[in-house]
Amino acid sequence: MTSDKSSVPGPVSPADSARPVVHEAPRRTPVAADVDVLVVGGGPAGVAAALAAAQSGARTLCIERHGMLGGVWTAGLLNPLFDANNKGWIVQQLIDRLTAAGAWRKWNWTHTFDTETMKLVLEQMMGEAGAEWWYQSMVVDAIVEDGRVRGAIVESKAGREAVLAKVVIDCSGDGDLAARAGAGFDLGRAGDGLCQPMTMMFEVEGLGAFPEQQSSEVLFDHMQEAMERTGKVTLPFGRARNVPWIIHLPQPGTAAVQATHVYGVNALDPRELTRATVEARRQAHELVKVLRGTPHLQGLRITQTAAAIGVREARRVRGRYCLTLEDISAGRRFDDAVTFGTFPLDVHEVNPKDKVRSSRIVKTMPYEIPLRSLLPAGLEGLLVAGRCISGTHEAHASYRVTGTCMGMGQAAGLAAAMAAAENVPPASLVGGALKPALLQRGVGLLEAKKPEEIVGDLYGDKLVWH
């Protein structure tokens, strides 16, 4: 079995071609596992995929680089859980478990969760489903045979090992496995490749009497007034509708803060990621000093910054269908729909110096996401789920939120389990048995909902229907 990469996953820069190289010796890599479904990444899409596959009877293994499940929720401290309404099945199971644990809180138009409880609940759910998962492990290559993805190469403290699978699901967020398998991809905004800024979330305590925030602009103005009095800090963003936010968590007096922004970073370069992480953490501590000068927040203190910086945008794997801005603005339906999105267009400006702002340039309507956007073009045996699916820079700004990513994940997990059981490629399910199977499990799709049952999350936007 060989790693056959007939296509180049991305452009090779002159700097790369000029680098010196080291010739490695041929390897004999031991096979550590042979499963039905291999899931790469244990974030929102990944845990949903692994749970769906395992609950559907597939022998399932999830590979996770952190020492916890949850990805951007837990290592990244990302709250709220946007666009989870009516997604059904695994999404609803998670909400029910968090609610029962007292770790789910209504906040304005959406809900927040307790990060530590999320870690425990996800491990409990995976164990109960019979899924296996490995922490502190990195997928470093794809195993491809005649255009079919057959597994992955994993490196960890145990060394370099192979995992074979009937179907592989890339839920890495960045499309790492798909790229290594030879899938084409796009990165950033058309024309210049710039991606949305990165944000390091952080948690605080000592909210005092700070009320649930209704507007980012009001808090921005208070912060500007505080800075005028001290003259020491500059905000890393302008006055906008999507930043800054202090987001109340279930534990009284605590919140998650969405405020740091680092621009012009390539999420595929670890050196740039390191610089962005250092800068974002510095911003977090400086911003708390500013916030202490605003009403009700004099006693504010950081309890933790995220272990992993939040990446909004990286690879978008080219699939058999590319979801577009026109699709989400028109509220398009698809015969092979696997989930839906209601989140408005939320482009955090890729360049704060741009004179024309790109965020919220159109009003969106509830739209469906087709299975074809989860199927990389030119490869069999592989699905992608989460923010790395096939779509444009603009459409991605809506479907990248974690509730929608969970919806994709649970559909990918079921599709993988069905394909593995029948020994057929996942692409054979387009227009076939997948949608009825999703509906049977209580998955929310727009065709099964009345307009008044579909509720949008962000900023309390009123949805417009045809």
Per-residue pLDDT tens over the stretch 367-399: 999 999 999 999 999 999 999 999 999 999 999
Distance in angstroms (rounded) separating the CA atoms of residues 200 and 244? 12
Distance in angstroms (rounded) separating the CA atoms of residues 44 and 329? 25
pLDDT averaged over 10-residue windows placed end to end, the chain, 466 residues: 42 67 94 98 98 98 98 98 96 98 96 98 98 98 98 98 98 98 96 94 96 93 90 81 93 97 96 98 96 95 98 98 95 96 88 64 87 98 98 96 98 98 97 93 79 49 36
* CA distance between the termini of the chain: 52
What is the pTM (predicted TM-score) of this model? 0.93
Nearest to 41 by CA among 152, 116, 128, 125: 152
Distance in angstroms (rounded) separating the CA atoms of residues 242 and 216? 7
pLDDT for residue 41 = 98
pLDDT for residue 230 = 77
pLDDT for residue 229 = 86
Cα 356 to its chain centre, rounded Å, is: 27
Structural domains of the chain, with CATH: 32-196+312-466 (3.50.50.60), 202-305 (no CATH)
pLDDT for residue 5 = 39
Distance in angstroms (rounded) separating the CA atoms of residues 379 and 319? 9
